[in-house]
Amino acid sequence: MTYRIERDSMGEIRVEADKFWGAQTQRSLENFRIGTEKMPPEVIRAFAGLKKAAALTNLELGNLEQQIASAIVQACDEILQGRWDDQFPLAVWQTGSGTQTNMNVNEVIANRANQILEENAGQIVKDNTDQIFTGSGNHLVVDGTDHSPAKKRVHPNDHVNMGQSSNDTFPTAMHMAAVLETEQRLFPAIEKLSSTFRRLSNEYEDVIKVGRTHLQDAVPISFGQEISGWLSMLTHAEQMIRANLEHLRELAIGGTAVGTGLNTHLQFGEKVAERISEFTGSRFVTAQNKFHALTSLDGMVAFHGALKALAADLFKIANDVRWLASGPRSGIGEIKIPENEPGSSIMPGKVNPTQCEALTMVCCQVMANDTAVGIAASQGNFQLNVFLPVTVYNVLQSIRLLSDGMVSFNDNCAAGIRPNRDKIKQNLERSLMLVTALSPRIGYDNAAAVAKKAYEEGITLKEAAVRLGLLTESEFDQLVDPAIMV
């Protein structure tokens, strides 16, 4: 293994020569060997967009020279394209401000920018494996020999992090990642499932079935009406998510260390937010109060609460589907769902509602994540919250799981839902709650007596009403029409 020597304020440290990261990333990598959870790539991409906007803003403000700014922008674009994904190895479980991830991004951008400048100048240093080595440190050691390239022009702190602090960049990247993932993944997934429910609701509006409350028979409902309830859940959940997403459009950038904006231009935050909006096609603004933006995660809490509301609705929908599809002979069995795979290693022919099970497990995880986000948000001490990485990890996981879960459920289950018309008709005809239609004519107590007699004697409601002398058969038929009851 070939290494180079990197230096930071704490001294020297060895870094594998083919890595773009520097000393601070290496220290974090060695000091936080905790778990398998890595900083989400969505955060890294958000950081790259932020650093690109910062470089162009500093260029505009006259603080950064053209060549350095251009090299930084090119390095950021390459990260946004996924070219250097393997250069961001840090664990979620690190410093609570996310400083080490900010520096990981700064170091990778700086070292790649230096390489770009060297490439442009024709000054590339290679070893006998034809790998290119660069660094913000002073030494490149190959087989014990110093092969140090020319002095680096781009510094991770002085240039890439110019006018910034981890304390305002990490909250900014968090908000960017959450907004962009929601718009690009979650909303399309909601619309896909909504479209299916819209189609099914219209297609089966004439299928009259038993309604159920308290897991007991209730008055009739059309299958289309039942599905319209599922559709409305998704519509309302999306509205709540959109409303709370507005809080995440406010960016902390420009606040630097404690919210005062020390060491940055007064217009820096506003200009960076404008450029981020331009790059992403999504609206972002600078937070009016940077002290709030650095220390509070209330926007994340409210936003994730809306995600939890969506999870609660999806849990209910998936449960409805598996109840209605239960059986096929000993359950409700009123709908048929796609049979995707064998359901048992011992019972031949068994098929289970696996998509419902997967989606409800997703919902459990999202609800658990909400607890973590809420607790983390309560830990804002003085000028900074120090539970940022765990917060963004859980928020992004919830967005990802809900998006993927809805698409999987839609494609492999919901789109193939079909009513079992024979079973629906059978259950409807046997329902005692059709007696509700008699109450306006014979009164609540008499209607209850009809239902009780029919149940105890195992006869139909019509037979019970006639035997009790409350109605004739023709009168019963006129009053009890399920199609009119819905």
Q: What percent of the chain has pLDDT over 90?
A: 93
Ordered alpha helix ranges (H), 182-297: 187-203, 223-248, 268-280, 290-295
Please return the burial class of 18, using the count of CB atoms within 10 Å of its CB with bins 0-12, 13-18 and 19+. middle
Q: Residue 152: its pLDDT value, please?
A: 83
Spatial contact of 376 and 391, defined as CB atoms under 8 Å apart: yes
Spatial contact of 46 and 57, defined as CB atoms under 8 Å apart: no
Q: Residue 130: its pLDDT value, please?
A: 38
pTM here is: 0.93
344 given a catalytic annotation: yes
What is the mean pLDDT of the segment spanning 121-137? 47
- The predicted-structure confidence for 258-284, as pLDDT tens digits, reads as follows 999 999 999 999 999 999 999 999 999
- The tokens describing 108, both together, are 């990778």
- The tokens describing 415, both together, are 């789109």
Give the pLDDT band of residue 121 (cuts 50, 70, 90).
Answer: confident
DSSP H/E element including 4: strand 3-8
DSSP 339: -
The active-site residue out of 9, 136, 165, 214 is 214
Q: Residue 3 forms beta bridges with which residues?
A: 16, 141
Distance (Å, whole) CA 209 – CA 398: 35
Give the pLDDT band of residue 149 (cuts 50, 70, 90).
Answer: very low
Q: For the chain, give me the number of helices (H) and strands (E)? A: 18, 12
236 given a catalytic annotation: no
Ordered alpha helix ranges (H), 14-129: 23-31, 41-60, 66-80, 99-121
The active-site residue out of 70, 97, 247, 344 is 344
Query: Whole-number mean pLDDT of the chain?
Result: 94
- The predicted-structure confidence for 307-332, as pLDDT tens digits, reads as follows 999 999 999 999 999 999 999 999 99
DSSP H/E element including 484: helix 482-485
Spatial contact of 307 and 368, defined as CB atoms under 8 Å apart: no
Q: Residue 151: its pLDDT value, please?
A: 67
What is the mean pLDDT of the segment spanning 32-36? 98
Q: Residue 123: its pLDDT value, please?
A: 54
Give the pLDDT band of residue 131 (cuts 50, 70, 90).
Answer: very low
Instruction: Supply the Cα-derived Rg of the chain in whole angstroms.
Output: 31
Model confidence at 394: pLDDT above 80: yes
Distance (Å, whole) CA 480 – CA 461: 10
Domains and CATH numbers, the chain: 3-160 (1.10.275.10), 166-206+222-421 (1.20.200.10), 431-485 (1.10.40.30)
- The predicted-structure confidence for 419-450, as pLDDT tens digits, reads as follows 999 999 999 999 999 999 999 999 999 999 99
